[in-house]
Structures are given as C-alpha cells and as structure tokens.
Structure 1
Amino acid sequence: MSELSPERPRRRRRADAERSIAAILDAAVAVLGERPDAKMEEVAAAAGLTRQTLYAHYPSREALLNAVVDRATAEAVAALDAVHLDEGSPTDALIRFLDASWYISERYPLLLRLPIASAVSRPERERHAPVLDRLEPLIRRGQRAGEFDRSLPRSWLLAATVSLAHLAGERVSAGEMTPAEAAKAHKRSVLRLFGVDETRAGRRRG
C-alpha cells in the first residue's frame, strides 16, 4: 500500500487557509461597512473563526484593512477593464467608468469612510493608483477629442473625481443620501467637472 503523499496534506492546509482568508475578508467588509470602529474580535465572530485564526492571518487591524483594500482594488480593476475604457467615445467611456466605480463602492462602502481610509497604511494616491491609471488615459483622450474641459489639468480632474467619490460616501454614511442618490449626484458632479454636455450624455445613455 503506497504511503500518503506529503503534498496532499499541504494542499489541504492551503485550501483551508484560503477559505479562512475569504471568510475573514467577507466578514470585514460586512462588519466594518456597518460599524467602522468594530473590533477585530467582532470580525472573527462574523467569520465564524477564532480570534487566534484571524490574528494568524492578519496580525493587526491595519493589515486586515490593507487586505480588504487590495481585494477591492483587484475587483475594481477587473470591473474597469471589462467595460473597455479605450473604446467608444470618451464621454460614453467616462459614464461606464463611473458606473463600474460606484458598483465597487457599493460593495465596499467602508473604503469611502474617512476613519477607515485613514487607518490604511498606504498613501491615498498609492491606494487609488490602479484605478487612476485607467482614468488618466481616458481624460487625455477626452481632452484631445474636445469632449472634456481642456482648461483643467488632468491631475486636478483625477483628484477631484476621487474627492467627490469620498464625499458621496460620507453623505451615505451620514444617512443624508441613499446609495442611489449619491451615485446619481456623483455622476452628475463628475460630468459637470469634466465639462460634459449632460443633455448629450443623457441621450447617449437613453
């Protein structure tokens, strides 16, 4: 009878670890999305795991938040790549960018909350870089085509787009707007910021 391959237990342990990590991140998104000041123990309980297991994977709150940001960023990049921002008119592509971005924001509302954002170790520009790296070429294309305001620097448009997203998230967190209202306000604000003709953009959408 052949001996059990040592590779099989290793694969099993790796699969168990991956399931634990997925459960922890899902719980962190849900718990911290509702209560940004929730304790690590609450996240562990929501994940159905012990506190020791949570700390084995994420030794600090900062490490956990960084992992959540990494997962959200990966999903955002996949969503933006799926809508092909380099195709169609710049205005249509901008609308697709905003729709895809807000979808991710709704999945990860904690990312738009300042107490959470300030607890993440990486600088804000670095955290947003994968998304902004996809928006910047679109802005350049839109300005060259005359569809976006050429009088404003691309760096300003990038920073303002992010700031408006955080403002929308704050209003939702404060109970002053519903997610749908905030999404609409964010889209209209960015379109105006970019100098897009909203009437024409509306006709394209309709």
Structure 2
Amino acid sequence: MSEVIRRRRRSDADRSAGSILKAAKEILAGQPNASVEEIADAAAVSRQTVYAHFKSREGLVSAVVDAISAETVAEMAAVDLADGSASDALARLLATTWAATSRYSLLLHSAALAVPDPSADRRRHVPVVDYLEQVITRGQASGEFHCESSAWWLATAVIALGHAAGEAVAAGRLPARDGMATLVASALRLCQA
C-alpha cells in the first residue's frame, strides 16, 4: 500500500473519530444514557465504525469526558491569573470552570457514576489543580489567603466544593442560577485569611 493511500486512510479515520466524538458530546450532554446507535446515527457512521474507534460505550464516554476536560483547561488557560487580587482571580477561574462544565453537567454527573475510573479522574484534574494552586499561592504570598494549609490542599478542597455544588444543582437542592455564586463564596471563605 502506498504512503499516500495510508495517509488518506488515516486522515479519514481521524475525521471519522472526530465526528463520532463531536456527536457523542452533543448527544450525551442532553441524554447521558443515549445508545451507541443514537450516537452513530448523529455522527452519520455505522455502529461498527464507532466500535472500531472506541472499544466500548464506556471508552467513548471516557473519551468525551477527556475532551470536555481539555476544553475546560483551555478556557482556564485564557484566564489572566495575575490581574487584580487573588480573590478576584480565583473567582474568575471558578466562573470559567463552572460555565464550561455546566454545558455538560448531566453527562459529567452521570459519567462519574457510570464509568468509575479514579486514575483517569485524577489525571483530568492535574491541570485544574495546577491553575488553582497558582492563584492560591499568589494569594498566600500576598497575605490574602491563609497559609495554614498548603496551596495543593486548598486547590483540592476547592475542586471538592465545585463537585459538591454541581451535584447539588444536578439533584435540585441548589438552584442552577445560584450554583456558581455559591461555589465562589464557599471557595473564598475556605481560602481567605
């Protein structure tokens, strides 16, 4: 087989996998229990093609959560963490992550229950912890945030608060319109000196 044909097949396969992932993100955001057949139909491919790229439905869901995580981290990277006070920077960072993950809240909450993979979850959170640690460390250096706990621990606790707020919204115990403000207020109370 010539190199040109091999490259074209690889390009076709990449395009096919991309369209499956895009369709899965869109469908699963509103219907977390959608079937592989529904996703294949939305991507205009066969069910077999989906399974050629993703070994299982769980593998596809995991790839979707990876893509959402990458999107969220890219949006976090755009936040200027050096501008204003550390509290303002933390609030902006949390608002960005809340907005990004809210687009997929149904999927993310059901995915966490359906595909328990703690190592993948930890890997997805590494850059999130890094951004939070940056702003918390800055706040600790300026005296705005307390230093009794490490920046890593505070970042980890802020992430737990984010998950708790998201779960409360998903369960209907916290109105969606109040979710972000509740998260920001709780995170600032946790971190501030």
TM-score class, shorter? 0.7 to 0.9
- Partner amino acid, structure 1, of 2:75: A
- Confirm whether residue 29 of structure 1 aligns to residue 29 of structure 2: no
Q: Offset of 1:148 from its aligned partner?
A: 1.3
Give the paired residue count: 191
Single out whichever of 138-147 and 29-38 deviates more from structure 2: 29-38
Task: Provide structure 2 residue ranges, at least 5 long, that are not aligned to the other structure.
Answer: none
Change (3 A) 1:16 1:177: farther
Q: Offset of 1:55 from its aligned partner?
A: 0.5
1:65-101 CA-to-partner distances (Å, cap 9, x unmatched) read 2212322222222212211324443122112211221
Q: Is the 8 A contact 1:76 1:101 kept in 2?
A: yes
Change (3 A) 1:103 1:11: farther
2-structure distance, mates of 1:24, 1:107: 18
Q: Is the 8 A contact 1:139 1:154 kept in 2?
A: yes
Q: Offset of 1:56 from its aligned partner?
A: 0.7
- Partner amino acid, structure 2, of 1:69: V
Q: Is the 8 A contact 2:28 2:107 kept in 1?
A: no
Q: Which of 47, 64, 67 does residue 51 from structure 1 map onto?
A: 47
Q: Offset of 1:104 from its aligned partner?
A: 1.6
Q: Offset of 1:137 from its aligned partner?
A: 2.1
Q: Is the 8 A contact 1:91 1:142 kept in 2?
A: yes
- Confirm whether residue 116 of structure 1 aligns to residue 111 of structure 2: yes
- Partner amino acid, structure 1, of 2:130: D
The match for 2:125 is 128
Q: Is the 8 A contact 1:112 1:165 kept in 2?
A: no
Q: CA RMSD in A?
A: 2.6
The match for 1:153 is 150
- Confirm whether residue 100 of structure 1 aligns to residue 96 of structure 2: yes
Change (3 A) 1:74 1:165: same
Q: Is the 8 A contact 1:29 1:110 kept in 2?
A: no
The match for 2:38 is 42
Structure number with larger C-alpha Rg = 1
Q: Secondary structure at the match of 1:162?
A: helix
Q: Is the 8 A contact 2:106 2:170 kept in 1?
A: no
Q: Is the 8 A contact 2:65 2:108 kept in 1?
A: no
Q: Is the 8 A contact 1:62 1:121 kept in 2?
A: no
Single out whichever of 148-157 and 95-104 deviates more from structure 2: 148-157
The match for 1:81 is 77
Task: Provide structure 1 residue ranges, at least 5 long, that are not aligned to the other structure.
Answer: 1-5, 197-206
1-structure distance, mates of 2:125, 2:9: 33
TM-score normalised to structure 1 length: 0.78
Change (3 A) 1:65 1:122: farther
TM-score normalised to structure 2 length: 0.83
